[in-house]
């Protein structure tokens, strides 16, 4: 059984070109299903029928898993069985007729421009770690890239003279401009700090941790949490909120959706349109406030 999962994950990563996030989440979902089946003493994962899969999804629902989690789990199971069919290990995909749960679309959480400014001012500009942290935060907000993309960047992906970065997501590649503030922060980091932190001089990873190894997702989350507390931002900040804030602030300041879509790497512009709705809602609220508040 484990051989089938291992070969499926290899197929996802090396043949289909799926992102690391997708591979890791699918692996996690399939492992959880295996544990469930073992505890229930049911059939092995590659011997399930439609009713078995539905029972597992119902169990997730009973245990208060979100619709998004259940939907992703079903996507992982479907993809796994489709792979087994493709490899002639099964004749039919037992998950193909199971309906996806309805997911309520929530507006992305964003930070105000004032909160972003305060957050970016927190790292100590005279400290080795602070210089690195400021460069990471400035670059994340300047480009809207995902944290997985940030920690995957190589020194060769940065062009400070022309003012852009090359971001690679699985088999796709996109060019994203960076502004002068982020460029200045990167120049200081590359010129004064990176070589001090770096353990292996041959390593081309752009951002490394204090031990000289490539920065991890967990490491960056901890850094962001520290600075959000220092900035007295009460709500829980995630790296993806900086991505949402980048896009929302661009739209608020007049950027067209097509350009924002290209910078974010969205394949469908409908995904990007949520930021236009956010802007419209803000404008409507401002209009009501201006017309109605006695001291507006």
User: Token pair for residue 239?
Assistant: 């790296």
Dihedral sign (CA 201, 207, 209, 213): negative
Whole-angstrom distance, CA of residue 133 vs CA of residue 225: 12
Which helix (DSSP H) or strand (DSSP E) does residue 270 occupy?
helix 269-292
Question: CA–CA distance from 292 to each of 111, 178, 278, 281 (Å)?
Answer: 26, 40, 21, 16
Q: Between 113-120 and 239-252, two packed helices, what is the crossing angle to 10 degrees?
A: 130
* Residues identified as active-site: 146, 240, 243, 266, 275
CA pair distance 273, 74, nearest whole angstrom: 26
Structure tokens at 14: 């090396």
In angstroms, rounded to a whole number, what is the distance separating the alpha carbons of residues 1 and 3? 5
> Could you tell me the two tokens for 249?
């602030």
């Amino acid at each position: 059984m484990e051989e089938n999962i291992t070969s499926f994950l290899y197929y996802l990563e090396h043949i289909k070109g799926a992102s690391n996030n997708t591979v890791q989440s699918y692996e996690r979902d399939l492992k959880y299903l295996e544990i469930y089946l073992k505890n229930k003493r049911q059939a092995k994962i590659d011997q399930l029928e439609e009713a078995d899969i539905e029972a597992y999804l119902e169990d997730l629902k009973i245990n208060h898993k979100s619709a998004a989690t259940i939907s992703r789990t079903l996507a992982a199971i479907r993809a796994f069985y489709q792979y087994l069919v493709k490899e002639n290990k099964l004749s039919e995909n037992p998950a193909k007729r199971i309906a996806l749960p309805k997911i309520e679309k929530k507006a992305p959480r964003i930070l105000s421009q004032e909160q972003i400014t305060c957050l970016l001012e927190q790292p100590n500009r005279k400290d080795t770690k602070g210089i690195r942290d400021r460069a990471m935060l400035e670059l994340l907000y300047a480009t809207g890239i995902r944290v997985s993309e940030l920690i995957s960047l190589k020194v060769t992906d940065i062009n400070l003279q022309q003012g852009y970065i090359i971001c690679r997501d699985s088999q796709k590649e996109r060019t994203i401009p960076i502004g002068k503030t982020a460029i200045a922060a990167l120049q200081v980091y590359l010129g004064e700090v990176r070589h001090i932190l770096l353990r292996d001089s041959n390593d081309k990873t752009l951002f490394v941790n204090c031990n000289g190894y490539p920065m991890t997702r967990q490491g960056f989350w901890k850094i962001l949490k520290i600075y959000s507390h220092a900035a007295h931002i009460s709500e829980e900040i995630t790296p993806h909120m900086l991505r949402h804030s980048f896009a929302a602030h661009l739209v608020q300041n007049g950027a067209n959706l097509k350009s924002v879509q290209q910078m974010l790497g969205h394949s469908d512009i409908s995904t990007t349109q949520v930021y236009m709705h956010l802007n419209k809602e803000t404008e409507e609220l401002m209009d009501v406030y201006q017309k109605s508040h006695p001291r507006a």
